[in-house]
Structures are given as structure tokens and as C-alpha cells.
Chains A and B, each alone.
Chain A
Amino acid sequence: MSDSLTYAYYPGCSGTGTSIEYDMSTRAVCAELGITLTEIPDWSCCGSTPAHTVDHTLSSALSARNLALVEKMNLDTAITPCPSCLTNLKTATHRMKKDGFRDKVNKLLDTPYQGGVATKSVLQIIVEDMGLKALKDKAVKPLKGLKVAAYYGCIMNRPPEVMNFDDPEHPMAMDNIMTALGATVLPFPLKVECCGASFGIPRKDIVMSLSGKLLDAAKDIGAEALVTACPLCQMNLDLRQDQVNSAAGTNHHIPVFYYTQLIGLALGLSEKELGIDKLCVDPRKVINAIGRDETS
């Protein structure tokens, strides 16, 4: 089975910077699971939100340059950990099915993109191509005793006809992974509510309010940790948690893991290679408690 799990890998810009631990843990987990990632050589930025707010042809061209590189690799599927990159790659693919639009995009490129590369999230291929059972079988340190809320953010599954994975209002992929690995997953009512996205710099007040609500809700349901699949969500909830506390007069101290970090812990990988030390809110207490309540 493992020889078929080979993908073109698009890390995304934040994976080389502020979400480096997401990239590290993704690579480590995939290697352990027998999933082969071949990084797209010389990949460039997808343009993220700013590009599509300026023009859709420009935005799609920035994505299509990368898809054209995948065509040269002779691989049929590109995967990325980042939902924002994923949205751009998928939207470009979706829109370029129309000849007129594809021609406009290709006019901006050195190498035109023919179409035909499938794009998926790393989360999707772990759930669909690898499968929960295979994942569970490889877990050597179950996450027993960890009470976690899975937070998906807004665009991993929406709009459904473009993203084509899981449920747009009530996604379960991360919930199911965490349950399979032995954690207690609490029902989190705000799992697809927006965290404030990239407004942290230009309109901090917005992120304070929206991310504040998410942290309040996580606390209310008794979550000891949040688990995310999005670099921007993770940054708003983890790096900005003290800012939220100051703005709202709260005292949250909730670690925010990437789901790949928790899979990695369950697979017995070292904290170092999963970049656990790069999280801002100290996860020590939560990690130490894993596995302890089996006798209680």
C-alpha cells in the first residue's frame, strides 16, 4: 500500500516561517506513516487572500505556476498542509476548467498549465488514502486522557463544491483521527467559525474578538487543548493568546497543537522533530498528563 502513497508536496510560505512546526511535524508524520512527500521544486507563493482580493486571474496564475511544476514531476496529486494554499490551488483548478479563464491565466505564465493535477490537503489523504485503521495500528503511545477540541477554521471544507472533502458545517476528519488515537474529543460548536484570519496585523481588534470567542468556548466545554489544521488559526489562537487575554480580561492558557504534532506524539516521534518547543502557550502540563488516567 505504501508505495502508492506518493505526492507532490507544497509546504506554503508560512511552513518555512511562522508555522515551521506544522511543516516539520507533517514531514515527520508522513515519513513514519510511509507516505512519500516530494517537495515541488522551486514552488512559489499562492498569493493567499491578498491576491484574490485584487484579481482572480492573477490569483489563479500564482497557483497555476505551481500546478504546472507538478505536471513536470509526473505526479497526479499535490498536497498541502495549509488550508489557505489549498483553497487557492483548488479554486484555480476549479475556475481553469473554463477555457476562456484558463487562457487568460496561461497568458500570464511562462509555462502554461494544462490541467489535471488533483489537489488535496494532507489531512484528506491521511483520512482517505491512508485510513484511520492503518493510523491506529501504528500508534504506540495513545493519547489517552487528553481532552481536546478540534478546530477546523473556515475554509478547509468550504465552499463544499470546490473543497470537496468532509462536511462544510460539521467536519469530522480531525475529530475521528484524535478519537482513533485515544484522545477524548469534545463537541466544539465553533469548529468552523472564523478566527479573524489575516486581520491580526491591520485590524487586531477583529482577531481579539473572534479568537477570544473561540478560546472562551474551548474553555467552557472543558477542553485542555485545541487542535488545528491551519497555520493562521494556530497563530491567532496560540501566538496571540496573551494579546486576547489582555484585550478581553481573560486568563486563558490553552495549548494549540497542529493535528500532525499530536499524531506524531501518538506514533512515538520525538517532541524535537515535531517542533513542540515552538508552540507559544506551554503544552508541558497537557503532554505530561497524556496516558496518566488509564488507571483512574
Chain B
Amino acid sequence: MEIVNITKTYDANFVRQVEEESGQDMSLCYQCGNCTAGCPYTFVYDIPVNQIMRLVQTGQKETVLKCKSLWLCATCESCTTRCPNNIDVAHIMDVLRHMARREGYAPVPTVKSFWDSFLSSVENNGRVFEIGLLASYITKTGRFWTDVDLGPKVLPKGKMHFTPPQIQGKEEVKKIFNRFKEESRK
């Protein structure tokens, strides 16, 4: 196990920022491990969720923000539902992802590419265009064989559209994204 010397690496500002953005009191976590026990994703995490909580408490900004777990959490809400101290753990994971994004970390590039492709589909069409989303993801990642085996199952059933959805409020939705980007630059 790695030993962390917190007298040298404690980042008080990081702890404050996580608390402020998530509205949660980090000091309430007493490491019971219930979040990790119920987390279905521990098997692919590099740091289990209770340890992420501890690392935030001890101000280990870089270790936390560069970890893969943040990108593999599906927000299934097991941790939040089961925390004996009512800490909204999934909310903290979300906030850590926001911070990791802002600092430019993307240790699981396929997940980031998928989420980005999804959102640009919404930004451009107002609704998700499933085939377009897949095409954009494949272009971004070069993973040409993604789900090709599913095509013959889905296409004959008429469940996928080949043209993007058309809604009147398309420009309105685009404006939401534009204003968000403007606000983020401030």
C-alpha cells in the first residue's frame, strides 16, 4: 500500500472546493466501506470509492483527479443510498469528474469520447441521433468494430433512424450549450 505524507501534499483548497461544489461535508465519512461494498464497479476501479473519499479528506488532489474510477462510475446511486451518514457520494463523484475534466484529465478515453459524442449529438439535433452518435464515437476512437454484430439484430426491426431527429427547438437547445460555454469561460 502506498504511503501518503499528508503534511507535504495536503491541498486544503481542493477539499474546500469539493465541499463547496457538492454541498457535502467530507469530514462525515468515517470509512465504514459501505459504499465500496455495494459498488458494482469496484472490479474495474483503480481506486475504490471509499478510498477516493479518504483521499479527498486528506487533500490529495492529483491522485484523485487522475484516477480512472471517476470515469467508470455509472452513477447507480448505491453508495449514496447506503451511506450511513447520508453523504451523497455519487454527487461527489460527479463533482470530481467535473474537476477532472476542467484540469484536462481523461484516463479512460473511450468513456470520455462516448459522453462527448452523446452531448454533441444533443447539441446539434436537440435530441440524440443514435446512429450519428455511434458514427461520431467510432470516428473519434477509431474503433471500427464497435457493435457491428448488433447491426443485423437492430436494423431490420426498424428501431434505428438513419436521419437525425428534427425538432423546432433545435436552436434553443444549441443556445443552452452556447450560453453554458460562455458562462464557463467567465
Contact = CB atoms under 8 A, between A and B. Distances in A.
A44 B167 contact: yes
Contacts, number: 166
A42 B169 contact: yes
B166 to A, nearest CB: 10
The B interface, classified by DSSP as helix, strand, loop or mixed, is: helix
Chain B: interface size category = 35 or more
Contacts of A158: 76-78, 80-81
B25 interface: no
Interface string A201-212: 111011001100
A54 B119 contact: yes
Contacts of A47: 119, 122
Contact of B134 (A45, A197, A201): A201
Given A52-B94, A110-B172, A242-B153, 17 more contacts: A19-B159, A20-B159, A44-B122, A44-B169, A53-B98, A53-B115, A62-B122, A62-B173, A107-B179, A154-B77, A155-B75, A155-B77, A196-B74, A197-B76, A198-B74, A201-B114, A202-B111
17 contacts: A18-B154, A44-B122, A50-B118, A51-B119, A53-B98, A54-B101, A55-B180, A58-B177, A107-B183, A193-B40, A196-B74, A197-B74, A198-B114, A199-B72, A243-B149, A278-B159, A280-B157
Interface of B: 40-41, 43-44, 72, 74-78, 80-81, 88, 90, 94, 97-98, 101, 108, 110-111, 113-116, 118-119, 122, 126-128, 130, 134, 137, 146-147, 149-150, 153-154, 157-161, 165, 167-169, 172-173, 175-177, 179-180, 183-184
